[in-house]
Amino acid sequence: MPDKVPTAKALAWPLFDAVVASAPLRGLNPWEGGRFVPDLDTLRTLLGVPLHLNAPTRSGVPALALDVWVAYELRRVGFDPDAVWPRAQPPRVIARDVLEFVRGVTPAATRNQLLERLQKGSGPGNVGGASANILGKNYLKQVDVILSGWQTGPELLVSTKRMDSSFGKNAANRVEESYGDAKNLALRHPMAAMGFLYSMRSTAYTEERRQFDWIVDLLGKLGREEDAYDACCLVVPEWDGAGPSDGGGDVEAPAPIEPDDVELEELGAETSRDAIESVIASLPKVDLRRDLVPDHLTPEAFFTTMVNHVLDSTPITMHESARHLRSAGR
C-alpha cells in the first residue's frame, strides 16, 4: 500500500514548534513600563509557514499560525505552560492534572507508553486532543486558545479568525458569528477573560478600503461590550504573491454536539533538526502593517488587557510567576 500522505497540519506542527522553541524572546520578560510587549518577529515567522506549505484555508493551517502565536505569548507571560492550550507539544489539549499524574508513573517504560498514547490522542474519551470544546450557555464551542484548569475552569478564552481574500463576502460574517459565540461563552463563564483576534490581509485596505474600515470600526465596538469581549485585536499581515487557493477565509465549523468530538493531531514522520531549520530560514517574508491598526486594537493593548483581567480576577496565590513578571516589568 502507498504511504499515507501527511496532512498540512502534520507538516505544519513541527515547523510551528521549532519557530516557538527557538524564538529569541521566549525566555525574556514581555512587560515594559506596565505594558505587554508582544514578540511580533515570531508572529511574522509563524505566518510564513502556511505560505511555505501553500496550505489552503480549509486545512486550518493559516488560522493555526495565529493560535500558536497567542498561546506562545501566554506562556511568555508566565502562565503554566500545561494550562495554556494549544500546548507547545502534543497532546495540544489535555488537563494539567492528567499530565502530572502520568509524569509520576513508574516504571519509566510504563510512563513513556502512557505519554505516547496521549500524544497520539488514543486515550479513552480522547483525553489528549488537538482542539478543545467549551460549553457555553446553550451550546458547545470549539475555542482556539484557552487558559484552563480543573480547579478554576476556563480563565481565558480567545477566538481567532483569519481573512486573506474575499473580504466583501466573508469578513462581516466571521465577526458576526464570533459575537454570538462570545455571548454564549460569557454567559456561562462570566469571570473568564474573553478575547477576539482577527487577522485581515493588507489587500483588504488597498482593494476594499470601505470594507476594511467597517471591520476595524466593528472590532472596536465589540471590545466595548460588557457581556462579550474584554479585548479585540487586529493583525494586518502583508506579503507578496497569492494567498490561499480556496478563497482565503476561515470556514466556520458547525458547533460540536458531543464534548469529546475533538480534533486529533496526526503526528508526521520525524524530520531532522537541520531540515526544519533550513525550511524556517527560507520561509516567505511576511510584514505587519502596524500603521493600519488603531491603538486600542494592537496586540500590546490586547494582551495587556487580557492578562490583567486574569490576574486581577484571581487570588495572589495563583499565577505567581505571571504576577512576578508583571511586577518586574513596571
> Is the residue at 2 inside a domain?
no
- Which ranges in the chain belong to alpha helices (H)? 8-21, 40-53, 61-76, 96-103, 108-119, 167-188, 203-207, 209-222, 273-281, 299-312, 320-328
* pLDDT given at position 254: 63
Q: Give the model confidence (pLDDT) of 20-55 as tens digits.
A: 999 999 999 999 999 999 999 999 999 999 999 999
Distance, in Å, from the CA atom of 100 to the CA atom of 184, rounded to the nearest integer, reads 31
Measure the CA–CA gap between 135 and 199, rounded to whole angstroms: 25
Residue 109 in domain:
no
Local structure of 26: helix, strand or coil: coil
Torsion of CA 136, 152, 25, 304, to 10 degrees: 70
State residue 264's pLDDT score. Answer: 66
Do 15 and 22 form a contact (C-beta atoms < 8 A)?
no
- Domain membership of residue 32 (yes or no) is yes
Residues 31-66 as b or e (16 or more Cβ within 10 Å = b) = beeeebbbbeebbbbbbbbbbebebbbebbbbbbbb
All three cell numbers of 186, joined, read 460569557
Number of helices (H) and strands (E), helices first, in the chain?
11, 11
Contact 225, 330 (CB under 8 A): no
Q: Report DSSP state, residue 193.
A: E
> Given CA atoms 190, 322, 74, 296 in this order, what sign does their dihedral have?
positive
Separation CA 25–CA 38 (nearest Å): 9
**Nearest-angstrom CA–CA distance, 68 and 52:** 17
* DSSP per-residue codes, 139-152: SEEEESEEEEETTT
Note whether residue 105 is domain-resident.
Answer: no
**What's the rounded Cα separation, in Å, for the pair 47 and 284?**
9
Task: With beta carbons less than 8 A apart as the criterion, state whether 204 and 167 touch.
Answer: yes
Q: Domain total for the chain?
A: 1
The per-residue pLDDT for 1 is 41
* pLDDT in 10s for each residue of the chain, 330 residues: 455 678 899 999 999 999 999 999 999 999 999 999 999 999 999 999 999 999 988 899 999 999 999 999 999 999 999 999 999 988 899 888 888 888 888 898 888 888 888 877 655 545 567 788 899 999 999 999 999 998 899 999 999 999 898 777 676 677 778 788 888 999 999 999 999 999 999 999 999 999 999 999 989 988 887 778 999 999 999 999 876 655 555 555 666 766 666 676 666 667 788 999 999 999 999 999 999 999 999 999 999 999 999 999 999 999 999 999 999 998
Is 54 part of a structural domain of the chain?
A: yes
Nearest CA-CA partner of 258 in 84, 142, 121: 142
Residue 228 lies in a domain: yes
- Residues 152 and 314: beta-carbon distance below 8 Å: yes
Q: Are 158 and 143 within 8 A, CB to CB?
A: yes
Does 6 fall in a domain? no
**pLDDT digit string, tens, across residues 300-310:** 999 999 999 99
Range of the domain at 204: 11-76+140-258+272-328
Instruction: Confirm whether 93 is domain-assigned.
Output: no
Q: Of 70, 72, 109, 131, give the one whose Cα is nearest residue 259.
A: 131
Among the listed residues 8, 73, 45, the one whose alpha carbon sits nearest the alpha carbon of residue 239: 45
